A and B are shown apart, each in its own frame.
Chain A
Amino acid sequence: MKRSKKSPRRVPAEEAASPDEVMAALSSLSPDQCLRLERYAQSRVGSLGRGSLSCDARALLCEAIRATCEGKRSWHKTSVDFFGHLIGVIRSKSSHLHRKSASNKTYLESDVIGESGSPVENSPSQAPNQEATLLANEAVERIERAVGERPIAWIVMEGLRDGWNRAEIIKEFQISGTEYDSNLRWLRRTVPKLREGKS
Chain B
Amino acid sequence: MTDKPRDYEQELADILNALAESTLEMSDEEIELEIREEGLDPQIVAEHVREILKNTVKSCQQRLLIEAEQEYEKRISAMKGADYSLPESPKAQRDLITSILASNPQLVRGLLTAQSRDFNSLPDEDLPAFVIQLMSLIEARDIIEEEGAPEE
Contact = CB atoms under 8 A, between A and B. Distances in A.
A191 B19 CA distance: 9
A35 interface: yes
Contacts of B34: 39, 185, 188-189
Given A35-B31, A39-B35, A139 B12 contact: yes
A181 interface: yes
Residues of B in contact with A, size category: 35 or more
B56 A65 contact: yes
A160 B22 contact: yes
B12 A140 contact: yes
A151 interface: no
B23 interface: yes
> Is the contact region of chain B dominated by helix, strand, or loop, or is it mixed?
helix
Interface in B11-49: 11-28, 30-35, 37, 42-43, 45-47, 49
Contact of A31 (B27, B46, B57): B46
Contact of A62 (B17, B24, B43, B52): B52
B8 A140 contact: yes
B75 interface: no
A35 B49 contact: yes
B57 A19 contact: yes
Given A136-B9, A181-B30, A43 B20 contact: yes
Contact of A161 (B18, B30, B46): B18
Interface in A82-118: 87, 94, 98, 102
Interface string A162-199: 01011000000000000001001101110110010000
B4 to A, nearest CB: 15
A149 B50 CA distance: 40
A120 B63 CA distance: 19
Interface in A26-66: 26-27, 29, 31-32, 34-40, 43-44, 46-47, 49, 58, 61-62, 65-66
A148 interface: no
Contacts of B43: 31
Q: Which of A20, A35, A157 is most buried by chain B, counting CB atoms within 10 A of its CB? A: A35
B64 interface: yes
B57 A195 contact: no
Interface in A1-44: 1, 3, 13, 19-20, 22-23, 26-27, 29, 31-32, 34-40, 43-44
B46 A35 contact: yes
A133 interface: yes
A69 B17 CA distance: 27
A46 B53 contact: no
Contacts of A26: 50, 53-54, 57
26 contacts: A1-B21, A32-B31, A34-B50, A35-B32, A36-B28, A39-B23, A39-B26, A39-B35, A40-B20, A47-B13, A69-B64, A87-B24, A132-B9, A139-B8, A139-B12, A140-B6, A140-B15, A157-B19, A160-B21, A160-B22, A184-B22, A184-B26, A187-B19, A189-B34, A191-B15, A195-B16
